Amino acid sequence: MTSPIIVVDDVRKRFGETQALDGVSLSVDQGTVLGLLGPNGAGKTTTVRVLATLLKPDSGSASVAGYDVNKQADEVRSVIGLTGQYAAVDEKLTGHENLWMVGRLLGMSKADAHQRAGELLERFSLSDAGDRQVRTYSGGMRRRVDLAVSLVGRPRVLFLDEPTTGLDPASRLELWDIARELVADGTTVLLTTQYLEEADELADRIVVIDRGTVVAEGTADELKDRTRGRVLQVEISDRNRLEEARDVLTRMAPPEGVHVDVATRSVFVPVGTDTALAANAISILSSTGIDIADFTLERPSLDDVFLELTGNSPSPSDDEEVAK
Ligand SMILES: Nc1ncnc2c1ncn2[C@@H]1O[C@H](COP(=O)(O)OP(=O)(O)OP(=O)(O)O)[C@@H](O)[C@H]1O
Ligand SMILES: [Mg+2]
């Protein structure tokens, strides 16, 4: 049995006119990854800042590893690492110096801080660049240093606020691997992202927030099931028999959803979560002698889920081209 290591209960935070958090509740089990998913301005960073004790909520409570974020900020800080949405490393220092400095700030001896810096540079494939100023690093290297900095103190709980925004695909994959390794070592991760694919890849559970409230939660699969469910697409070999195929299929599925697309010679049948219905549909069509060229059983993508829940497409990253 795992138990929650992060608990957020009915947290509210207002900035002037903006109700950034309007009663957010969530929990994260130890050793798992929670994906906090939401469009721009949903309240993701605000949630992370409350949990990292950088911001006091107006009301509600939150705890990390059993420590209250309002009353035990020092204890909370001793167990967490934070990689913020915007780089927090000093560009004029080298990678090694940045890591060393954080080690010293955490109270390590000079020798220990050097050793830890070396270990982390190695782990993040930055050993060769360790003695160069961070301002000479590529976007992907900067993100890696950022993450390394948040790991100096071996945190039990790691907050990653949009860790891969602006990264090229290869750097993104690399960062995902690192995150997986950390979780395999027992670290709990709360990851905010606008990339559905990222939540799908990394998160054990997903909480979708929009305008400061939780609008859905579950595993990626559960969220996909909550929408329209699966759609069976049957491609008919003979275009002239399309209408006939539709008539056959309409008799077995909820009729309002069945539709024909002439261009792809296909009939689409919503089957929800009933895969037996899909299998039946194929076998009945075959038995009527209508030749099937192909069929697929599509699941809605997380993008569809997101759109349905928030009425927003996930925002395209504006800074995709920043990283090299
Ligand atoms: N310090 C602040 N002062 C005023 N308004 C703020 C402040 N911080 C956040 N907000 C507002 O609160 C809302 C939630 O912001 P937040 O940064 O948590 O969103 P987000 O989900 O992280 O968005 P993004 O995906 O763009 O990073 C937004 O409307 C934002 O403008
Ligand atoms: Mg944010």
Residue 49 Cα to ligand 2 middle (Å): 10
Instruction: Judge if the beta carbon of residue 44 lies within 6 A of ligand 1.
Output: yes
Q: pLDDT tens per residue, the chain (324 residues)?
A: 568 999 999 999 999 999 999 999 999 999 999 999 988 899 999 999 999 999 999 999 999 999 999 999 999 999 999 987 666 789 999 999 999 999 998 899 999 999 999 999 998 889 999 999 999 998 888 888 998 999 999 999 999 998 888 778 888 888 888 889 999 989 999 999 888 888 889 999 999 999 999 999 999 888 877 766 778 899 999 999 999 999 988 887 665 678 899 999 999 888 877 778 888 889 988 899 999 999 998 777 777 777 777 776 555 444 433 333
The candidate with the shortest Cα–Cα distance to 139, out of 87, 196, 82, is 87
Give residue 317's pLDDT.
Answer: 43
The candidate with the shortest Cα–Cα distance to 145, out of 173, 178, 115, is 178
Give the closest residue (by CA) to ligand 1 atom 4: 15
Q: Which two three-digit tokens encode residue 42?
A: 């949903």
Tell which one of 15, 193, 313 to mutate to probe ligand 1, the residue whose CB is within 8 A of the most ligand atoms. Answer: 15
Residue 19 Cα to ligand 2 middle (Å): 15
Q: How far apart are CA 62 and CA 247, in angstroms?
A: 56
The candidate with the shortest Cα–Cα distance to 145, out of 173, 117, 113, is 117
Q: Give residue-wise pLDDT tens across range 90-139.
A: 999 999 999 999 999 889 999 999 999 999 999 888 999 999 999 999 88
Give residue 87's pLDDT.
Answer: 66
Q: In degrees rounded to 5, what are phi and psi of residue 217?
A: -155, 155
Q: In degrees rounded to 5, what are phi and psi of residue 262?
A: -65, -40
Domains in the chain (CATH in brackets) are 4-225 (3.40.50.300), 228-299 (3.30.70.100)
Residue 102 Cα to ligand 1 middle (Å): 27
Task: Yes or no: say if 37 and 194 are a contact pair by the CB < 8 Å rule.
Answer: yes
Beta strand segments in 124-279, E = 157-161, 188-193, 205-210, 213-218, 230-236, 259-261, 266-272
The candidate with the shortest Cα–Cα distance to 259, out of 282, 275, 242, is 242
Residue 228 Cα to ligand 2 middle (Å): 29
Q: Give residue-wise pLDDT tens across range 188-199.
A: 999 998 888 888
The candidate with the shortest Cα–Cα distance to 134, out of 99, 169, 170, is 99
Dihedral Cα 87, 89, 95, 101, nearest 10 deg: -150
Which residue's structure tokens are 């925002």? 315
Q: How far apart are CA 218 and CA 226, in angstroms?
A: 10
Tell which one of 40, 45, 48, 190 to mutate to probe ligand 1, the residue whose CB is within 8 A of the most ligand atoms. Answer: 45
Residue 43 Cα to ligand 2 middle (Å): 7
Q: Which two three-digit tokens encode residue 148?
A: 């390394």
DSSP 2-21: --EEEEEEEEEEEETTEEEE
Q: How far apart are CA 154 and CA 320, in angstroms?
A: 30
Which residue's structure tokens are 């997101």? 306
* Cross-strand partners of 308: none
